[in-house]
Structure 1
Amino acid sequence: MAFTIASGIWPVMITPYHDDKTIDFQAIARLCDWYVEKGCAGVFAVCQSSEMLYLTPQEKLDIAKATVDAVGRRIQIVVSGHTADDKPSQFRELENMMRIPGIGAYVLVSNRLDQDHEGEVAFEANAREIFERYPEIDFGIYECPSPWKRLVSTEFLRKAGKEGRMVFLKDTCCDYELIRERLNAVEGTALKIFNANAQSWYDSVLHGAQGYCGVMANFHPEIYKWVYDHRNSDPERAQMAAHFLTMAGMIEMRIYPCNCKYHQKLEDVPMSVYARSADMAKLDKNARGEVEALIAMEKYVRKQLGI
């Protein structure tokens, strides 16, 4: 207490499967090596990109354990898997997950803290119940879009940051002005904000956000890292590369995570394109061609940046 979150690029880990639809743990190990090789600061496992809503409780734990085993101490790990509806089940999810050594923080899903849309009082009461029940655990919050997006109030972040109960926010508000307000509210605390939105992340890091934690770090994290590392020393090229990242980010609207798995299959980590949360049949020749075009553009951008 408190776990110090490393600044930089945090991919949201995908779950590879075999063709028989079981989890491909060998591919998970190779994927973790890839994250490390690309210079990622950490990995957010058992999240929406991991298809946590489609995993059994045991599969969630198995994936978290496999990630810890693969990464070792090379980069940091935070996890979620916070999908249950009732409180006893939520507590059990949390307790089982945090028995795995090597996990830095447990990331609560914001909509699980206000399931009945009761408002800020209920949200804060539910969060504080968890904080007080587990004083030894460091927490994050993920504004997960599924089953519905519940944004966290700036005032809650201000209090949680000052009290030292949160160290990580995966921000999905997609609003650079609101992120600036949030950054001001948590300034000087251990709470670090990571923008998940490719279109607004660069503005947020220029105003103090600690990095990027989103889908596109599964495609080209090393370009995000270059932009983050050179935002002050080489602002002109960093801005142009950020423009590329903004446009490239639109591909997440196209049959993700199947298209990401196709990208990995072509470039980095062999894996099936199957996903439980998306229809791989929709990854037609046009969608595959878009991924292939992205790969060509990534190579061009890397050459311009010297990476």
Structure 2
Amino acid sequence: MSRPIEGIIPVMLTPFDDDNRIDYGGLERLIEWYLAHGADALFAVAQSSEMQFLSLEERAALGRFVVERVAGRVPVVVSGHVSDDLHGQVQELTAAVDSGADAVVLVTNHLDPHRRGSEAFLGNLELLLKRLPADVPLGLYECPAPYRRLLSDAELSACVDSGRFVLLKDVSCDLATVERRVALAAGSPLAVVNANAAIAFDAMKAGSRGFTGVFTNFHPDLYQWLRTSGARHPALAEEVNTFCVLSAVSESLGYPALAKLYHQRLGTFKSIHSRAVSYDIRERHWALDEVLDRIAAGTQAMRDRIAQATTAA
């Protein structure tokens, strides 16, 4: 791997058509949208991709498609690690390796599916490391489903010491934990990248090497500006950060179908069909389009303010 995997890393959506098939045309448009809006890398076949609801064949095809269409413009990391049994995990992770991804991401809760603690986690990890090619960089993802399995400091240190890991998608949602993990990974190839919007800006200032939360599907360029230019415009950065934090609260309104509706309105997707969200999000979450109107308008307002500040500078 010649490039570090860090910065603004969107967790990719999987568009479906109304017949429940992957919409590869919509996916290609989504890839180009991410790249046009400041993505430094892409995370394919993640929870936002509805990986738990995709067959192994679909996960393999999805990873290959993203790698091929990105064509080296930015690094692509791929997961699809959803099984609890070792045989299934080897199949899934081998499919991710075969996609040609720049790194393959292991989900922490599947390394300790029965919540038995560090001995089970490290034992399963050792078995998988023996089965995966030694030259393939790896990542870790504290995926919230089926349960949020946070790494202990000792577990993270073991992963750092292995020399195999280049990325941790941190889901601790705690700034002090992010800071401690950054210190543990200091001097190693492992980038700690926070996934929680509420602490995104503070985490980046504290050494998190980017952001990889769900609202990278709405305005990744705003997070990119905070990362690269926020320190030079502290007053405006506080406004942009506050807008991003408040916008992200709407994740509870039917995500990822919510993000698909946002992209349907942008013209990226034809359908908002989701396998993970089986209900009508407009029926359950009243005035949803008005919420998205405000997010869209606020996003554009922040972009305009940033453009003005850039011109003035």
Q: TM-score range by the shorter chain?
A: over 0.9
Q: Judging changes above 3 Å, is the alpha-carbon distance between structure 1 residues 138 and 3 closer, same or farther for their aligned structure 2 residues? A: farther
Matched residue, 1:194? 193
Using the alignment, how far apart are the partners of 2:282 and 2:42 within structure 1?
26
Give the counterpart letter for 1:303 in structure 2. Answer: D
Matched residue, 1:111? 109
Unaligned runs of 5+ residues in structure 1 are none
Moved more, 244-253 or 132-141: 132-141
Q: Is the 8 A contact 2:26 2:269 kept in 1?
A: yes
**1:220-247: per-residue Cα shift (whole Å, max 9, x none)?**
0011111111133223322221111111
Moved more, 188-197 or 61-70: 61-70
Matched residue, 2:278? 279
C-alpha deviation, 1:164, in angstroms: 1.2
What SS is found at the alignment partner of 2:98?
A: coil
C-alpha deviation, 1:292, in angstroms: 1.5
Using the alignment, how far apart are the partners of 2:99 and 2:70 within structure 1?
13
Superposed counterparts of 1:119-268, under 5 Å: 119-134=117-132, 135-268=134-267
Using the alignment, how far apart are the partners of 1:87 and 1:119 within structure 2?
17
Q: Is the 8 A contact 1:9 1:41 kept in 2?
A: yes
The CA RMSD over aligned residues, in Å, is: 1.4
Moved more, 27-36 or 88-97: 88-97
Using the alignment, how far apart are the partners of 1:294 and 1:48 within structure 2?
23
Using the alignment, how far apart are the partners of 1:183 and 1:247 within structure 2?
26
Q: Is the 8 A contact 2:50 2:275 kept in 1?
A: yes
Q: Judging changes above 3 Å, is the alpha-carbon distance between structure 1 residues 155 and 268 closer, same or farther for their aligned structure 2 residues? A: farther
**1:64-123: per-residue Cα shift (whole Å, max 9, x none)?**
11111211111110010001121011111111221122x011100110000111101111
Using the alignment, how far apart are the partners of 1:3 and 1:194 within structure 2?
19
**1:107-150: per-residue Cα shift (whole Å, max 9, x none)?**
00110000111101111111122223322221111100111110
Q: Is the 8 A contact 2:169 2:192 kept in 1?
A: yes
Using the alignment, how far apart are the partners of 1:147 and 1:84 within structure 2?
11
**1:180-212: per-residue Cα shift (whole Å, max 9, x none)?**
111111111100011110001111110111100
Using the alignment, how far apart are the partners of 2:153 and 2:304 within structure 1?
40
C-alpha deviation, 1:18, in angstroms: 0.7
Give the counterpart letter for 1:298 in structure 2. Answer: T
Matched residue, 2:300? 299
Quick check: 1:80 aligned with 2:82?
A: no
Matched residue, 2:311? none
Give the counterpart letter for 1:119 in structure 2. Answer: G
**Which protein is richer in helix relative to its size?**
2
Give the counterpart letter for 1:137 in structure 2. Answer: V
Q: Judging changes above 3 Å, is the alpha-carbon distance between structure 1 residues 91 and 120 closer, same or farther for their aligned structure 2 residues? A: same
Misfit runs of 4+, over 2 Å: 2-7, 231-236, 282-285
Q: TM-score, normalised by structure 2?
A: 0.94
Q: TM-score, normalised by structure 1?
A: 0.95
Q: Is the 8 A contact 1:106 1:138 kept in 2?
A: yes
Q: Is the 8 A contact 2:5 2:41 kept in 1?
A: yes
Give the counterpart letter for 1:18 in structure 2. Answer: D
C-alpha deviation, 1:251, in angstroms: 1.0
Moved more, 92-101 or 258-267: 92-101
